[in-house]
Chains A and B, each alone.
Chain A
């Protein structure tokens, strides 16, 4: 039986999981066992199916892309949109990442969410999320992708605000959704423009027609690409729409790992890679993508230097790494971007789940002693290596990977992106700036990640005398996935070892059928061997420098617990306050908009014009006319006779005309 023929089963499995778990949640059942089996089982089954599909795809030499048309959706005049799934080499990579990392995180959640009353609801939402994510990456046309795009936004909202009884969580979910919508507006405009210029919304048709429909550098294709990128800045948290991601840390930690590190936020990168042809046709848009990515990477890294909440550090780290991915795909090195997406999924998920393990322990400790300190504040941690040895070791692996030390996965992907940027700079000098931004970011990344590790796992323990006895390692159901991710982080580099190191660049060759149309339009210059080695050395040196500097400079032996810590001052304060971006947005955008909605549109237009003048006014007009009519009924014969004569005069007048 062909796995590709039942490709529709792949999204259907998590959808079935959502329905089943949703029913269990609504019925108020306390059967955690059933929920766990269903929730994790559908993901594992999906992963198995995905693996079978990819294997089959790899075997078949004829067609590198399989399009499965399920049913017609919108046949409207010249527009024919079907619900169709496209399994090609790019979506193959994505579905493996989504279902594979997703299965591990689902398994981890069994342990992490064990004591939560909303257990069934959690797994229902998580399954729904995987369904939408699979729809997103498997979509064969823009509308189906958009359905997935919106759907993951919805699930993100549901899961961020999972503990919605506290306002701060609900607000965070709302913020994520609203900011994403701004990006989605850009996506929609891009879809309209694409249809207008190419007459279709199917990927195959659009990308085949694009080179003839648009001249390179054409304003139309630049507009399309920029609007698509606007959607990406929303979904993948780049400047200016990244502000929702740090707030999204209010949700459960496995959610942060799955949605806000490994999969949903990478949808934007996937989109750019998928639409590589359009971006290749517009050098301006590509430069914007790469530039925004590079700037965001550095910007977020600077903020990450001064965050105390362990999850916030990882959130800004995610934004920063996403910036790297966009730098990659913006430069035209689509494989590099996707490669970094994959390796980032491994080590960032590992980091988040490890942080979850830490928070789990801290939470248990504070719960046992009824303390009210923040279990996520690194100033309350320290020396946890003694209590959570496995977590500490695995997180160190992830830290070295994200810093970019060989031979870990992160090194290969990051190095490839930076090399591509340097190569592009030969023809477009602005890319040197992007490369420098990338190097600076690599330095800061190494620094703040080492800072996180030092403050959390090393130095003296600041949690408290009584709490210390309750700190313990996470259960096996949580450390198991951590170890698998650790292995993937160690070995992941093997996916795409470049020729420089004698590797065969497997991912590059695998993705070639998808990236070739784009790279053919806008080729990346080759770098000489010497230059390549030079760049490698620079990158490794920078990473090592960052780690050493952190170890030397930071006072991790002498930190004060959160409740005793002195407030930040000066530049540190600005970084801690995230450059006051949220405050600026609130003052410049949110407050005027609220004023406009509440005071103008509702207060004046809705209440006074529509309700007052139009609705009530019409009623009052009827009453007035009626009042006039009633005044005519005087009961006096004289008046009636007068009206009678008026009538006669009119009739005679008409007759005489």
Chain B
């Protein structure tokens, strides 16, 4: 539908713009906030791609928790005020442009070679209609992918312990 496509390109454009702004701000705080905006755009894109549950998760976890953590650390290190710019000189920018450009072109070529799907609703849409938006993710998660799920919880435990230990003033 042209409407969906229009929305998609709007949000995609906003995402790219805010990402570009994110990497070019002098103030790390501004960079972080622009990244949050980018994540919101990406969440919108998720909705348009039939991943509504994950869109909400993106907002809650990524933008809401992880980025907040970033902001806390930035504040903690007193980097919020403007200081000397940490962007590299012209040579660095040139190299970065070159390499990122090359990589982007190559990935673009890969993207172009993906086969375009047939018309009509894909299998995911059909499954969603059957089980609902949450169920379509939850059922595999607790059946087929149960083991990784449990291991992830162990991973999070390890991360907690690690973060606490590393952040101590004296070990």
A and B touch in the complex (CB under 8 A): yes
Select which of A638, A645, A656 is within 8 A of B99 by beta carbon. Answer: A645
Docked Cα-Cα span, A652 to B96, in Å, equals 17
* Interface residue SS majority, chain B: helix
Shortest C-beta distance, A651 to chain B (Å), equals 10
**Do A649 and B103 touch across chains, with their CB atoms under 8 A apart?**
yes
| Residue B1 interfacial (CB < 8 Å) | no
**Do B109 and A649 touch across chains, with their CB atoms under 8 A apart?**
no
Cβ contacts under 8 Å, B103 to chain A: 645, 648-649, 652
Cβ contacts under 8 Å, B96 to chain A: 642
Nearest residue (CB) in B for A649 is B102
Nearest residue (CB) in A for B95 is A642
B93-115 contact mask (Cβ, 8 Å, vs A): 1 or 0: 00110011011001101100000
Cβ contacts under 8 Å, A646 to chain B: 99
**Do B106 and A656 touch across chains, with their CB atoms under 8 A apart?**
yes
Docked Cα-Cα span, A645 to B107, in Å, equals 13
B70-114 CB contacts (< 8 Å) to partner A: 88, 92, 95-96, 99-100, 102-103, 106-107, 109-110
- Interface size class of chain A, counting residues whose CB lies under 8 Å from the partner chain: under 10
Nearest residue (CB) in A for B113 is A656
A615-657 CB contacts (< 8 Å) to partner B: 638, 642, 645-646, 648-649, 652-653, 656
Nearest residue (CB) in A for B109 is A656
**Do B95 and A656 touch across chains, with their CB atoms under 8 A apart?**
no
- 23 pairs across A/B with beta carbons < 8 Å? A638-B88, A638-B92, A642-B95, A642-B96, A642-B99, A645-B99, A645-B100, A645-B103, A646-B99, A648-B103, A649-B99, A649-B102, A649-B103, A649-B106, A652-B103, A652-B106, A652-B107, A652-B110, A653-B102, A653-B106, A656-B106, A656-B109, A656-B110
Docked Cα-Cα span, A638 to B99, in Å, equals 13
Shortest C-beta distance, A363 to chain B (Å), equals 90
How many contacts between A and B, using CB within 8 angstroms? 23
Docked Cα-Cα span, A653 to B105, in Å, equals 10
Docked Cα-Cα span, A646 to B98, in Å, equals 10
5 additional A-B residue pairs with CB within 8 Å, beyond A649-B103, A656-B109: A642-B95, A652-B103, A652-B106, A653-B102, A656-B110
Cβ contacts under 8 Å, B107 to chain A: 652
Cβ contacts under 8 Å, A653 to chain B: 102, 106
Of the listed residues B92, B96, B102, the one surrounded by the most CB atoms of chain A closer than 10 A to its CB is: B102
Shortest C-beta distance, B11 to chain A (Å), equals 27
Shortest C-beta distance, A306 to chain B (Å), equals 88
Docked Cα-Cα span, A652 to B95, in Å, equals 18
Docked Cα-Cα span, A645 to B99, in Å, equals 7
Docked Cα-Cα span, A642 to B91, in Å, equals 13
Docked Cα-Cα span, A642 to B103, in Å, equals 12
Shortest C-beta distance, A640 to chain B (Å), equals 13
Cβ contacts under 8 Å, A656 to chain B: 106, 109-110
Shortest C-beta distance, B88 to chain A (Å), equals 8
Cβ contacts under 8 Å, B88 to chain A: 638
B93-147 CB contacts (< 8 Å) to partner A: 95-96, 99-100, 102-103, 106-107, 109-110
Shortest C-beta distance, A84 to chain B (Å), equals 79
Cβ contacts under 8 Å, A652 to chain B: 103, 106-107, 110
Shortest C-beta distance, A417 to chain B (Å), equals 94
Docked Cα-Cα span, A101 to B92, in Å, equals 96
Docked Cα-Cα span, A349 to B92, in Å, equals 95
B30-73 contact mask (Cβ, 8 Å, vs A): 1 or 0: 00000000000000000000000000000000000000000000
Shortest C-beta distance, A510 to chain B (Å), equals 98
Nearest residue (CB) in A for B92 is A638
Nearest residue (CB) in A for B101 is A649
Docked Cα-Cα span, A648 to B92, in Å, equals 18
Shortest C-beta distance, B69 to chain A (Å), equals 21
A385-438 CB contacts (< 8 Å) to partner B: none
Nearest residue (CB) in A for B106 is A652
Cβ contacts under 8 Å, A642 to chain B: 95-96, 99
Cβ contacts under 8 Å, B102 to chain A: 649, 653
Shortest C-beta distance, A93 to chain B (Å), equals 93
Docked Cα-Cα span, A644 to B132, in Å, equals 43
